[in-house]
Structure 1
């Protein structure tokens, strides 16, 4: 009994919890708007509707529109990141940070930062013509967002291809667990640009009409944009300030395929290892997982390999699997951060969104994919997968508050699925 109590106390002292959410996507620019659309299976990809659409090698994309940027000027990635971080901070009740600024940090994942701001300069250099000076790099983007919030603690930018969002969450959680920060806002951001579309077009990875995760007729991805931010805190810090806790970030891990620059390992080696390591860190056996948010890009190779890895980790009867990319498109470095928000909301509401555009499940992707309509079921443990170019794989594990550690802190009374009441407590 004493040993069990000591182990529980240790887990509480090292627990990392989620206390705030912010998201901007092609299907919604508020947490509840996004979640309502995701649960209904709304598809946000469509023909481009922007002045420079003619410069893009593809006409189909997922655009974020109708959001109030916290600043009038700045590159699009900065505006998206700023809006997501501001929303998460407000949701957590820390918009006005009054604590030690060196104990609060920001970590965002991105493919390259303000890519659309860099491309004209690169193109001009190669053509030997004058072009605007290159604007914000990923590090500049991080610095600008951190200064807006007054967070002067750890502030790295993370770039692990399309696993960047999960990698940022893992780095932020490691920072908190190591005692280098009390609060970290972590997530991901990427904007649309012609360059990223050119890359996927050259790889023949773009879908002609829509992104169909795990479908027999899947033919590629649709490039999209977005941003998401999650406020992470040590359990003790959240408890002291009476914060509402959405979930615990109970486990995280990464692994390298070390196989190919763009193709996944044919046996899903990295995907399998990242899932098993994240679950091992959380102290959760695979049979306790209720939901997997899949990487699910709608490309022939990824979905088949990911499904194989899922069967190897969870057995023939997998947890309920969904891919939000059918609805959102592929939001690049923001993808797994947005999907992390969805995992947290699935835990909160006991609802798993459907996989949009999935009509005919590929027999090679024989896992329990939620399709057609949302599935209402208790969700206690959710796994979030992210796999990127260069063999980057990353996985995060979210649980309901107290599932692993017994930690329970502030609550929001009167909440029902689809709504969130005001945050209790004040910043410290």
Structure 2
């Protein structure tokens, strides 16, 4: 077998994950307070603090949005769904913002074209920051008024802003990668060297049976995580860590990007058309691979989880390795037995880290580092019901042509993730911190 870093399925070194461990959930508060609101809002502003007006205005591709737009749209959300229905039109900052910073809410009205967001040289970044202060002042007033705010809408607004914090960073990385100067967003932490040696992957074994999938706790979740429901899961093996850069290097060197037998038809056609030969941001310098990071260009570290690969690439790699991608049901069943801890958003790091599984038979890195592609399409759970009104457009309208990712990444806020969280992207997208973990039938 070409993929020597993982054990062969005929004789897998298996570790059985303890079945008695209780399912753990996110530490996000059930009823957010003014302290939670201030903390989340301040982080968005802090992320943009080092950006110039030009940095915050440019748009590198239609899928990405300018940082200035992220800062404005997250404020628009609170204004549109909480402030204006409660305080009326007199609380509005600028009537034009209703059109400029609507994302995809057709129920609200028309909106500025997504692929032209980078043409909004006005309003300035200074004006957008003033807009945020205006929204924060009104929200603080409402938070101090008992019963003035629907807490479910407040929770949704804060979780929505945390999603955009991650998007802001991934979009800035893509933008800076287009600049020949390859600027850094943040200085690398002094602790980035040295690193532990890469760990040979093994397999954790999971029993099959009827398991409950979906959010079943009183704290906040998105509507697409509901309702909890029973599914049948067959016994399976799950790798104890994510696929690494070193393993991906072997995939490249074996000519896998040019081998149609490994690929889904649409994926191979897309890879050939786009000229894919390595993960996004990888570039060869002399005889060494380098990659663009939020700390500027860095050598590719073999022990880090591979990032910025599409579902098509992940699926092809799994087939090349004699394995497969886990279903989201398998992933959630496994993740519900490990603590929600990992390498999340930390301005001193902002990159995946080498994963070192412990001795308790649990897979490492299930949360943080890289979003993990699954083999599951983003479709509604049995009994799913979208909320009434515009907020019902949040997830349900995208349940077509998307694949599910799980677990969060190194730029996900740490209190934003939970075992039931369902991220989703189209299968060709790879500018996110997306990687993979292998699975096999037992």
TM-score by length of 2: 0.29
Larger Rg: 2
- Is the strand fraction higher in 1 or 2? 1
TM-score by length of 1: 0.30
